[in-house]
Chain A
Amino acid sequence: MNQADVTKLVSKLRIKVPPKHRRLSCPEGPEGRLNKLRKTVTGLIKYERIELNYYRGDEARQYAERLISEAINHGDCHKPTMEMADFWLLEKELVHKLFKVLVPRFENSNSAYTRMLKAPKPAYGRYIDKAVLELRGNPYPSLQNKQTNNRQLLQNILLDAAKYDYRQAKYAEMAEKIEKSEESSSVKTTNIEHNN
């Protein structure tokens, strides 16, 4: 049983944190692992949506969340936080983006700062889980399609077309029936006339 380290105060992450880190097979050891993740975090802050391997994305997501929450908690006048941002963001103009764009964006949010979605896997080739990692509130169109009744969906268009065809077929049948009945009735009337 270990005692919790109380020198630093951290705010809780809104994502699921696994109990142990992933080692991300790296010949340079823990330093190389952090260098890998630095590149990913920088890319995420820069492009706001990236596609990558699932494990690396999940690790980078935790670090990005921590970085943003530190920036929100301490602001840009706190020296250790500034050093941290300087370490994690390889392109220095992104430090400004972190404190001036992302902090106001996420300051009042009650959910996680990032979103990770599973990406489709290639049909052939190496079987590796892919994921899309994005910052919330990014300018790109949404990846999730929650409106199931969207008329523009291919399935819905096809269904509409099928329904239309079915209805046309029914109408045609009904029209035929009516025609037949009319014919028969006219025949009957003529017969009656003849009888008379």
Chain B
Amino acid sequence: MSLVFSKSFDLFKAAKWILRKDIRSCLSSLPEKVEKTNADEDKMTRIGRRPRSQNPMLEYRHIYPEFLPDPNPNWRNSLREKLERADMLERRKQIDIPEFYVGSILAVTISDPHAQGKTNRFVGICIERKGCGLRAEFTLRNVVDHQGVEVRYELYDPTIQTIQVLRLEKRLDDKLYYLRDALPEYSTFPVDMDPEILPEGTTVPVNPVQVKLKPRPWLERWERQELKGVSNIEEHLKEKDRVRRELRKTPWEKYDLMKQYRKTVPIEDQNEIWGEVYNQLQQMRMSTKKTARKRVITAPKSQLG
């Protein structure tokens, strides 16, 4: 088997070589002017490489962060990543997984064999998004009957029936773990909340609300994390904590260029990934927009009727 394969491979190589030779001979027979224009074009493309951050494909990294692979090169596997991306697109064809961010309020309905109606709906604020590929997860938090509850869902879980965005917005921080130590009214959301529809073409608003923390003890040392979304952190600190915070500060970390590099996926790799999935994602977005518009048009009709 392998012999045959290697033979065919050799044949293929030979064919390639012959082709290349032919092309080369063709090129050499062409007049010199053509080569000059080619060189000019090369120069143009090289200079034109500079404003590459304006690529519209790259903006999808905020909406679909789970399509980017793990930045740790030890855990990279290009084949697995490719298969996972195909599976993710396949899943997105089945159900509509909307655009949402940390701080958005979601309602998730799953089919639950333990529940009485076999479905279970949970409403809450998204406090974190983590993981990449098919293992992408998000956590919802809510206060039900004065009891804080958090549920972690996998984004591509086949038992998820619908994910509905009730309020699309961002918060001031990337992770909202501090809601666990905040007063309960900041993470209380009614179960029968109506979805708020943003007008088309607007950017996602940032909610500038600053939460108030409960007095200590806290789950984490929030004072050391430079949180923007907490207002009363200084009230609960002692002199000792302020001194420790100063000692623990790492002002050099923002200059550590390689640390940033090791946390991200470079533009060239991202372009490859987005080039693979951009068209399909774009189509899905367009179709969901169309259906949303239809819903908007039909809703008042039903009211009139």
A and B touch in the complex (CB under 8 A): yes
Asked if B257 and A63 make an inter-chain contact with CB atoms under 8 angstroms apart, the answer reads yes
Nearest A residue to B251 via CB reads A31
User: Is B61 touching A6 in the complex (CB atoms < 8 A)?
Assistant: yes
B130 and A31 form a contact (CB under 8 A): no
Are B135 and A62 in contact (CB-based, < 8 A)? Answer: no
Interface membership of B72, Cβ < 8 A: yes
For B74, give its contact among A13, A19, A87 (CB under 8 Å). A19
Most buried by B among A2, A6, A73: A6
Choice from A1, A6, A21 contacting B62 with Cβ under 8 Å = A6
Q: Are A2 and B260 touching (Cβ within 8 A)?
A: no
CB-CB nearest in chain A for B260: A8
Total A residues in contact with B, Cβ cutoff 8 Å: 32
- Tell me which of A64-72, A115-123, A135-143 binds B: A64-72
> Across the interface, do A84 and B66 meet the contact criterion of CB distance under 8 Å?
no
| Given known contacts A4-B68, A11-B268, A31 and B252 CB-to-CB distance under 8 angstroms | yes
Knowing A107-B50, A108-B46, say if A4 contacts B265 (CB, 8 Å).
yes
B304 CB, min distance to chain A CBs, angstroms: 44
- Closest chain A residue to B271, Cβ basis: A12
Closest A residue to B69 using CB positions: A4
Query: B180 at the A/B interface (Cβ < 8 Å)?
Result: no
> Is A77 on the interface with B (CB-CB < 8 A)?
no
Q: Of A1, A5, A10, A66, which contacts B133 at CB under 8 A?
A: A1
20 contacts between A and B (CB under 8 A): A2-B70, A2-B71, A3-B65, A4-B265, A6-B62, A6-B68, A9-B58, A10-B264, A19-B72, A19-B262, A30-B250, A30-B253, A34-B255, A66-B257, A66-B258, A73-B50, A73-B53, A107-B47, A107-B50, A110-B46
Instruction: Give the B-binding residues of A (Cβ under 8 A).
Output: 1-6, 8-13, 17, 19, 21, 30-31, 34, 59, 62-63, 66-67, 70, 72-73, 84, 87-88, 107-108, 110
